[in-house]
Chain A
Amino acid sequence: MSAQFLVSQMLNGLQFGVFLYLMAAGLTLVLGVMNFVNLAHGSLFMVGAYIAAASFERSESFAVALLGAVVGTGLLGLLLHGTLLARLQQAGHLKQVLATFGLTLFFNELVRIVWGPSSLYMQLPDALSGTVAVFGITYPAYRLAIVGAGVLVAIGLWLLVHRTRIGMLIRAGATNRDAVETLGVNINALNAAVFVLGAALAGFAGGVAAPLLSVQSGMGDPILILTLVVIVLGGIGSSKGAFQAAIFVALVDAAGRTFIPLILRSLMDRSLANAAGPAVASMLIYCVMAIILAVRPGGLFAARGR
């Protein structure tokens, strides 16, 4: 096994981790700050990808597509929060899970009705469609750009939460909702803002993913599951924890997919190893999660407080 191979798999893990972070950042804010379980986060990702592909088809511009995805899902988040989810704010987690799971089914059908059963077309922006040489390997430029974009979002979010007045209110609202309300802050407006921000982040992730992935109904569901793993490991509500956990989950996943089939092949019959390898690799991250939660129930990277 060559060093280049290891480097490329490390980069793959890093890139996928940043991508997971874009999803997890929004979800962990909504869950941690609003105490709201939003299983429709994967649907917002999917809708973001669809809006990006649809606006790309009209405009042929990647920037317009990405902007459309962010603004479109942000507005959709506002609509969802205003019409349905705000009413469920005090209803308890079970009702939130049921309602938002229902929303995922609704959106999976809705995109089929609006855009048809076929996957939509979306291509890379010309400037990022090539490959670049890094650390002695050629790597798709677009995937490197995702890493950069994710890091920028992480910095921006950290500044927003820790260095602005809104961020301070968000943190205060998460700690003691009643006290903040007593001080004359409109906590519902604050919640709506957090939800819209989370939705827009999911839409951004969807728009970024649209050129890489098949834009199709249900594409958000598998991503949502990994995102939930990330926010649980990262400590719910912690956007810094989400960043660390996302990178960790993606690296473990990439390492599992790369090395477990190789290890199994040296231990057992090749055909058996071929069958078992992907199955074991796909389980790995959940096994790791179970162990970590047994040892540190608050999550691997949970900060003191938030």
Chain B
Amino acid sequence: MKRSTAAAGILLGLMTSAAHADISIGFLATMSGPQGVLGQDMYDGFMLGIELAGGKLGGQKVTVIKEDDQSKPDVATQAVTKLIQKDRVPIIVGVTASNIMMAVHQRVTGSGTFLVGTVAGPTPVTGANCSENFFSTSWNNDSLHEAMGAYVTSTGYKKVLAIAPNIQAGTDAVNGFRRFYKTPLADEIYAQWNQADYSSEIGAIQSSRPDAVYAFLPGGMGINFVKQYQQAGLLGVIPLVTTSTIDGTTLPALKTLAVGAVTGGSYSPDLKNEANTQFVAGFKAKYGRLPSLYAAQSYDAARLLDSALAKVGGDVGKKPEFRKAMLQADFASVGGTFRFNTNHFPIRDYYRIDVEKDAQGQAAFVTKMTVLKDHADAYVAQCPLKD
């Protein structure tokens, strides 16, 4: 792997003047540790996007150089420095966590390297610190919570309790939710990061008897909470509305325990569009599981790059032309409608997606309704970019 990467680097160095050089793309994600499952899904989705295009993007053969940031900002910074200076990649794709995005965004975009974020979308890079070299196939972090705020408003629940981890993303989640759900919250519970036992919090929920619970507990926290919420006999009794808690990466660990929960997002494997049908079939055939939204957005990144590279004849060196081609977003997103806003974040639909039993009795995501149509993030006005 190392040798072939180096060889590709030398090859690229020799052939930069040639018209049809291969393209190296850096891929940065959290591949190990508790969040490693997200990075694996991202990588699998991205590689499938390249494979379904015949191993090429925009007609050019592609070499992907994978780096694991281990969920550590310092490791991520080293990895992108290596990708930019040693491997000389013109494009870096991925980035799982928001703190990693904050660590690498300026370093990558400031060097003139293009960065395509497929999951993390922290507010600074959406607003004031946006960059012309950055493109997101995901969202601003608030968008998912805004969508669920809008959904809960439509249900008429009056007494809503929110639970989130005691970190920046947790308070951001509750604030994003409240931007679209104006009724004062019955209570806000902040749990410790990576907390395993939620019996105390569930006791508080039982005693306050809200109309609904809004939960943002990513990864293992979500698995713990949903299991224990279900075991306390609350699932299906007090409606559970979630984001980033029950998703394609955690449902296999929850299975039918999560049936009855409501989730929200920009993607579900059951979305009916041609691009998604092809994607889901390809993903299932290759990896034997259903894709998560992380896989879907990384697959979208491959389709986006394919469309833009084709327009510039595979020459990323033509930066203004390539940027313009990217902005046109001339590809069919697996999540439905997709176009770029002036801050290079998508304007897209957000859905209510329920966990239900399918015909075989297995837990499955079922898209119920479009909660927000052509939704733009709340920070675009702060971004100085105007094209």
> CB within 8 Å of B: which residues of A?
1-2, 4-5, 8-9, 12, 15-16, 112, 116-121, 123-124, 129-131, 137-140, 142-143, 211-219, 222-223, 254, 257-258, 261, 274-275, 277-279, 281-282
Q: Which of B34, B203, B232, B255 contacts A216 (CB 8 A)?
A: B34
Of B231, B232, B254, chain A has the most CB atoms within 10 Å of the CB of: B231
Q: Do B190 and A213 have beta carbons less than 8 Å apart?
A: no
Q: Which of B171, B192, B199, B250 contacts A119 (CB 8 A)?
A: B250
Q: Do B37 and A278 have beta carbons less than 8 Å apart?
A: no
B233 contacts across to A, CB distance below 8 A: 130-131, 138, 140
Q: Do B196 and A15 have beta carbons less than 8 Å apart?
A: no
Task: Return A232 CB to nearest CB of chain B, in Å.
Answer: 21
Q: Do A213 and B224 have beta carbons less than 8 Å apart?
A: yes
Rank and list the top 9 A-B pairs by shortest CB-CB distance, nearest first.
Answer: A214-B223, A119-B253, A12-B199, A214-B220, A5-B207, A117-B37, A278-B166, A8-B203, A131-B233
Q: In the complex, how many residues of chain B place their beta carbon closer than 8 angstroms to a beta carbon of chain A?
A: 40
A211 to B171, CA, bound (A): 29
Task: Return B279 CB to nearest CB of chain A, in Å.
Answer: 20
Q: Is B257 an interface residue (CB 8 A)?
A: yes
Sample (26) of A-B pairs whose CB atoms are under 8 Å apart: A1-B207, A5-B207, A8-B207, A12-B200, A117-B36, A118-B37, A119-B250, A119-B252, A120-B253, A121-B252, A123-B255, A140-B231, A143-B199, A211-B231, A212-B224, A213-B227, A214-B220, A214-B221, A216-B34, A216-B253, A218-B34, A219-B220, A223-B196, A258-B204, A275-B171, A275-B190
Q: Which of B37, B249, B253 contacts A215 (CB 8 A)?
A: B253
Task: Return B194 CB to nearest CB of chain A, in Å.
Answer: 7
Q: Do A213 and B196 have beta carbons less than 8 Å apart?
A: yes
A222 contacts across to B, CB distance below 8 A: 194, 196
A4 contacts across to B, CB distance below 8 A: 207
Q: Do B223 and A119 have beta carbons less than 8 Å apart?
A: yes
Q: Do A16 and B199 have beta carbons less than 8 Å apart?
A: yes
Q: Do B224 and A214 have beta carbons less than 8 Å apart?
A: yes
A142 to B233, CA, bound (A): 12
Q: Do A218 and B203 have beta carbons less than 8 Å apart?
A: no
Q: Do A279 and B166 have beta carbons less than 8 Å apart?
A: yes
A65 to B96, CA, bound (A): 34
A282 to B165, CA, bound (A): 13
Task: Return B192 CB to nearest CB of chain A, in Å.
Answer: 5
A257 contacts across to B, CB distance below 8 A: 200-201
Q: Do A9 and B34 have beta carbons less than 8 Å apart?
A: no
A254 contacts across to B, CB distance below 8 A: 199-200
Q: Do A118 and B166 have beta carbons less than 8 Å apart?
A: no
A129 to B199, CA, bound (A): 16
Task: Return B166 CB to nearest CB of chain A, in Å.
Answer: 4
Q: Do B227 and A212 have beta carbons less than 8 Å apart?
A: yes
Known: A212-B227, A219-B196. A278 touches B190 (CB 8 A): yes
